[in-house]
């Protein structure tokens, strides 16, 4: 780049960044528009009031709108297009069982082709037959249908295939949220509390399942909040007021009002928006920061979903339930340049969030956010410069409305390169030898990100790819706590409470977060084995060494599923390898990847507790099952009000053979959350994750020959003060 061009580029880049990002200090004359983009069909628990006056100064329109109406699939795993979703609706409309009444559509997604056929398919081949899976509800019954788009026919149709129901639709949420306002008992209670109905927001969290008395009908709990003087209504619960509503008849099945003596917490300091802050932060000013890429990003996206970056190639798509799905992951061999298989498919399969309070208005709060609400359906447009850095690529999701029409969930995934000053590898010599060596390499990674706003909580999912072959999967928790109203202004004896006091009249109830990932690892091919490499302490023999004890790695290959049901133990450590026993390195080691656990909190609930019965997939941190295309959702295909009869734990009890088979690794990332005052009114992000790391997969360090960074390759932005 010519010097004058570089100076011009850097000046404009820095100026634009300064204007857009600004500083930590709030401008008193801000004229930025209120431009929060709402998604009308999101089924998130807090997305149902699109006409709210609460808004933000942050711009969410990341790119020019894309016309998806004429798009066609290019890859067997590409999501359904607008045209295909329209065709599904047409086929269903002419289907005889639905001829009188069209069902409510809860899910329309690609029914993926047989894995063997996908693995054989190459670009340029004829596209494999396209099918759709539909989850629908009609007359209180769950319908699971397969629609053949090529023959315009329905090839399978099951009714009530398991105990649960499909995830809530936006129609369910809207209808249930209106029920309280026509209920006499509710209006009487609200009047007694002195809350105008115009200040109310009511939300219908899922009801869970607590025995036979709650079977045979779809029910939801309805809770209400005051939004007077704040958009953060979550911090103003109307405690003890809960209604159980039949979702199909909209009948109030139960009305509970136990908290009239508990005041509604004040709105003071609850507004988290930038424009609402009246005091400057008590810290040194932070100058704007950005990564400049004068030649543009190093990655490219082909045919809408194939990502190519450095030595990686993978398929990326949005999913209504999982949010983000990574498929056909391949890495280039560092010696011969050939692409090698690493993973067929990876995604967040379920998200279990149990709260630890036994009150009538709290005991049922044990959410399964993926299966009950949908992580993709709860996603809102990512915020450029704040959710995703400059030079990010944005990807939309295309889903179906309850009446079967397609809609676009804009900018729900972003893809970007990250450099945070980390080091890929380094070594220096010179202190004790004649070698004067200073070698280091910067770590640049590629991140695929999605964020879901499931009610009060926000979940950030990152899949980060490194050039050394490592995949780092991270989950960040932010948003608002689910709080409980309290009569206390100052903390009493908290042992009697379900959590600590985090603000006046507000208890942060203790709870957990468990994210179970489906990881269909295909190390150099589909047939793999799972190896427990256990570190065992051994005693030295008398006179053998001054040492008394040492550790030895002992390998055990899992034969069946029960051999691979793993509870992590701090004082009985192991490494867990997925290997290809048929592919060896030059030294004779089987090629493999290992999972490096993080976020190792485990569920402590009793196994006969109803929420734990439904989420028995959290009984272990690691499971391994034979590949089965019908076993993808750890909580079952139909999760809402399920009894736990179709979960990962149930499948694994079959104790099928898993040695040298096409197998799936499951890992549960766990968080225990004891809230604190710093979580009010909005939580700083808490992040944890796990790694998928190559083990004897490469012949040596795959980034040994990576180039260092040189000053001449980088543009430099200098302020006038430093020039």
pLDDT in tens, 435-493: 888 999 999 999 999 999 999 999 999 999 999 999 999 999 999 999 999 999 887 77
My answer on whether 565 and 597 are in the same domain is yes
**pLDDT of 42 above 60:** no
**pLDDT of 52 above 70:** no
d(CA 689, CA 171): 34
Helix (H, G, I), strand (E, B) or coil at 298: coil
d(CA 396, CA 301): 13
Torsion of CA 154, 159, 163, 166, to 10 degrees: 50
**pLDDT of 14 above 70:** no
DSSP 53: S
My answer on whether 392 and 536 are in the same domain is yes
Residue 302 lies inside a defined structural domain of this protein: no
Domain-terminating residue out of 276, 300, 323: 276
In order of 190, 210, 322, 640, 654, the CA distances from 351 in angstroms are: 34, 19, 9, 13, 24
My answer on whether 371 and 263 are in the same domain is no
Write down the catalytic residue from 457, 593, 627, 640. Answer: 457
My answer on whether 572 and 489 are in the same domain is yes
My answer on whether omega of the bond before 713 falls inside 30° of 0, hence cis, is: no
**Pairwise pLDDT comparison (13 vs 111), residue with the higher score:** 111
419 is catalytic: no
Instruction: Provide the residue range defining the domain that includes 671.
Output: 311-542+558-712
Structure token digits, residue 143: 């319908």
My answer on whether 132 and 198 are in the same domain is no
d(CA 313, CA 469): 12
Residue 292 lies inside a defined structural domain of this protein: no
What pLDDT does residue 58 have? 66
> pLDDT (tens digit, 9 = 90+) per residue, 503-521?
999 999 999 999 999 999 9
My answer on whether 501 and 356 are in the same domain is yes
**pLDDT of 303 above 70:** yes
Domain-terminating residue out of 233, 253, 276: 276
Mean of the pLDDT values across residues 685-704?
Answer: 97
Residues 6+ apart with CB under 8 A from 410: 37, 39, 65, 381, 394, 396
Q: What percent of the chain has pLDDT over 90?
A: 82
Structure token digits, residue 121: 């398919």
Mean of the pLDDT values across residues 274-294?
Answer: 90
* DSSP count for the chain of H helices, then E strands: 8, 32
My answer on whether 115 and 244 are in the same domain is no
Residue 7 lies inside a defined structural domain of this protein: no
**Residue whose C-alpha is closest to residue 244's, from 106, 137, 373, 361:** 361
Q: Average pLDDT of the chain?
A: 90
d(CA 715, CA 712): 8
Residue 506 lies inside a defined structural domain of this protein: yes
Residue 105 lies inside a defined structural domain of this protein: yes
pLDDT band at 99 (very low <50, low <70, confident <90, very high): confident
d(CA 481, CA 679): 7
My answer on whether 201 and 344 are in the same domain is no
**pLDDT of 45 above 70:** no
pTM of the model: 0.91
User: Out of 46-50, 63-67, 430-434, 488-492, which region has the weakest mean confidence (pLDDT)?
Assistant: 46-50
457 is catalytic: yes
**pLDDT of 184 above 90:** yes
**pLDDT of 183 above 90:** yes
Q: Per DSSP, what are the bridge partners of residue 556?
A: 532
Mean of the pLDDT values across residues 90-110?
Answer: 95
d(CA 318, CA 320): 7
d(CA 535, CA 545): 20
My answer on whether 179 and 253 are in the same domain is yes
Helix (H, G, I), strand (E, B) or coil at 462: strand
My answer on whether 270 and 346 are in the same domain is no
What is the number of other CB atoms lying within 10 angstroms of the CB of residue 332?
A: 17
CATH assignment at residue 438: 2.70.98.20
Residue 282 lies inside a defined structural domain of this protein: no
My answer on whether 154 and 177 are in the same domain is no
Structural domain tally of the chain? 3
> pLDDT (tens digit, 9 = 90+) per residue, 649-676?
999 999 999 999 999 999 999 999 999 9
Write down the catalytic residue from 357, 369, 522, 524. Answer: 369
CATH assignment at residue 147: 3.10.450.40
Residue 135 lies inside a defined structural domain of this protein: yes
Domain-terminating residue out of 276, 299, 331: 276
Structure token digits, residue 324: 């983000």
pLDDT band at 55 (very low <50, low <70, confident <90, very high): low
My answer on whether 155 and 193 are in the same domain is no
Residue 92 lies inside a defined structural domain of this protein: yes
């Amino acid at each position: 780049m010519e010097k004058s061009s570089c100076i011009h580029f850097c000046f404009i880049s820095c100026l634009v960044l300064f204007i857009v990002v600004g500083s930590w200090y709030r401008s008193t004359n801000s004229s930025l528009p209120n431009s929060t983009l709402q998604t009308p069909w999101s089924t998130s628990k807090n997305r149902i009031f699109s006409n709210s006056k609460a808004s933000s100064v942050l711009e969410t329109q990341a790119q020019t709108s894309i016309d998806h109406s004429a798009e066609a699939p290019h890859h067997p795993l590409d999501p359904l297009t607008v045209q295909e979703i329209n065709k599904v609706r047409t086929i269903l409309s002419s289907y005889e069982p639905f001829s009188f009444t069209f069902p409510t559509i809860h899910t329309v997604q690609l029914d993926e082709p047989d894995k063997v056929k996908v693995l054989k398919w190459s670009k340029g081949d004829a596209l494999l037959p396209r099918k759709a899976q539909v989850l629908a509800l009609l007359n209180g019954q769950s319908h699971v249908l397969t629609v053949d788009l090529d023959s315009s026919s329905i090839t399978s149709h099951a009714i009530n295939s398991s105990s649960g129901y499909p995830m809530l639709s936006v129609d369910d949420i809207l209808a249930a949220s209106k029920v309280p306002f026509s209920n006499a008992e509710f209006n009487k209670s609200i009047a007694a509390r002195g809350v105008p109905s115009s200040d109310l927001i009511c939300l219908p969290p899922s009801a869970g399942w607590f025995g036979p008395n709650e079977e045979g009908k779809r029910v939801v709990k309805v809770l209400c909040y005051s939004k007077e003087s704040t958009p953060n209504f979550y911090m103003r619960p109307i405690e003890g007021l809960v209604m159980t509503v039949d979702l199909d008849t909209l009948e109030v099945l139960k009305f509970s009002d136990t908290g009239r003596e508990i005041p509604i917490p004040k709105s003071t300091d609850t507004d988290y928006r930038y424009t609402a802050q009246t005091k400057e932060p008590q810290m040194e000013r932070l100058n704007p920061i950005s990564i400049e890429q004068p030649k543009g990003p190093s990655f490219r996206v082909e045919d809408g979903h194939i990502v190519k970056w450095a030595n990686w190639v993978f398929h990326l798509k949005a999913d209504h339930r999982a949010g983000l799905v990574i498929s056909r992951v391949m890495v280039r061999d560092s010696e011969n340049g050939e692409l090698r298989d690493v993973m067929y498919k990876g995604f967040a399969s379920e998200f279990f969030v149990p709260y630890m309070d036994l009150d009538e208005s709290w005991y049922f709060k044990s959410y399964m956010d993926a299966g009950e609400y949908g992580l993709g359906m709860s996603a809102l447009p990512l915020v450029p410069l704040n959710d995703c850095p400059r030079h990010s690529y944005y990807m939309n999701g295309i889903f179906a409305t309850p009446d079967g029409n397609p809609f676009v969930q804009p900018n729900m995934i972003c893809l970007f390169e990250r450099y945070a000053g980390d080091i890929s590898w380094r070594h220096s010599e010179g202190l004790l030898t004649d070698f004067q060596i200073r070698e280091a390499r910067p770590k640049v990674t590629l991140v695929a990100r999605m964020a879901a706003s499931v009610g009060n909580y926000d979940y950030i999912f990152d899949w980060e790819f490194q050039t050394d072959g490592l995949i780092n999967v991270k989950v960040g928790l932010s948003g608002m706590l689910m709080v409980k109203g309290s009569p206390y202004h100052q903390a009493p004896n908290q042992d009697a409470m379900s959590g600590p006091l985090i603000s006046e009249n507000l208890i942060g109830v203790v709870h957990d977060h468990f994210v179970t990932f489906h990881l269909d690892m295909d190390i150099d091919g589909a047939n793999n084995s799972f190896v427990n490499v256990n570190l065992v302490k051994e005693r030295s023999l008398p006179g053998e060494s001054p040492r008394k004890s040492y550790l030895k790695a002992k390998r055990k290959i899992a034969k069946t599923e029960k051999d691979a049901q793993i509870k992590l133990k701090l004082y009985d450590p192991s490494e867990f390898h997925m290997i290809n026993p048929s592919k060896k390195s030059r030294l004779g080691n089987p090629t493999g990847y290992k999972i490096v656990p993080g976020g190792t909190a485990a569920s402590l609930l009793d196994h006969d507790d109803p929420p734990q019965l439904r989420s028995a997939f959290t009984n272990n941190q690691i499971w391994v099952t034979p590949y089965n295309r019908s076993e993808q959702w750890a909580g079952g295909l139909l999760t809402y009000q399920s009894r736990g009869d179709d979960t990962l734990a149930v499948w694994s009890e079959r104790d099928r053979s898993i040695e040298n088979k096409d197998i799936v690794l499951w890992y549960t990332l766990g968080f225990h959350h004891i809230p604190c005052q710093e979580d009010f009114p909005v939580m700083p992000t808490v992040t944890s994750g796990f790694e998928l790391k190559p083990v004897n997969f490469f012949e040596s360090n795959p980034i040994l020959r990576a180039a260092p960074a040189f000053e001449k390759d980088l543009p430099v932005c200098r302020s006038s003060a430093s020039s």
